[in-house]
Amino acid sequence: MASPNRIMELSSLIAKETEKLNDFFVKNNLPTPSLDVDALWLLPIPADAADLEASRQAIVEACSELQDLMTGPKNLLRFKWTAYASVKAILRFKLDSSFPVGESTSFEAMSKFSGLNVVNVRRIVRHAIINHHWFREDAPGVITHSALTAILATDPVMRNSMIVELDEFWPAAVKMADAMEKWPNSEESNETGFSLSNNSNKNMYEIFAGNPERGERFGAYFSREDEPGRMLLDNYPWGSHETIIDVGGSHGSVAIEIAKKFSKVKCIVQDLADTAAEGASRLPAELQDRQPVTADVYYFRSIFHNWADKYCIKILQNLIPALKKGAKIVVHERILPGLANLSTDHKRRVINLDVGMQQLLNAKQREMHEWSELFQQADPRFKYLGAHRPDGAIRWIIVAEWQG
Q: Give the angle 63-68-74 at the CA atoms, nearest 5°.
A: 170
CA 44 to chain centre: 22
Task: Encode 74-101: b = buried (16+ Cβ within 10 Å), e = exposed.
Answer: eeeeeeeeeebbbbbbbbebebbbbbeb
Question: 236: how many CB neighbours lie within 10 A of its CB?
Answer: 19
- Round to whole Å and give the CA distance between 126 and 133: 10
Phi, psi at 323, each rounded to 5°: -80, 135
- Round to whole Å and give the CA distance between 100 and 109: 13
Task: Encode 6-42: b = buried (16+ Cβ within 10 Å), e = exposed.
Answer: eeeebeebbeebbebbeebbeeeeeeeeeeebebeee
Among the listed residues 243, 239, 231, 245, the one whose alpha carbon sits nearest the alpha carbon of residue 263: 239
The residue from 241, 305, 346, 388 that is catalytic is: 305
229 touches 257 (CB < 8 A): yes
Give residues with Cβ within 8 angstroms of 380, minimum separation 6.
none
- Round to whole Å and give the CA distance between 113 and 92: 12
Helix (H) or strand (E) holding 260: helix 253-261
DSSP state of 94: T
Is 133 labeled as catalytic in the residue annotation? no
Among the listed residues 292, 320, 298, the one whose alpha carbon sits nearest the alpha carbon of residue 378: 320
Q: Which residues are catalytic?
A: 305
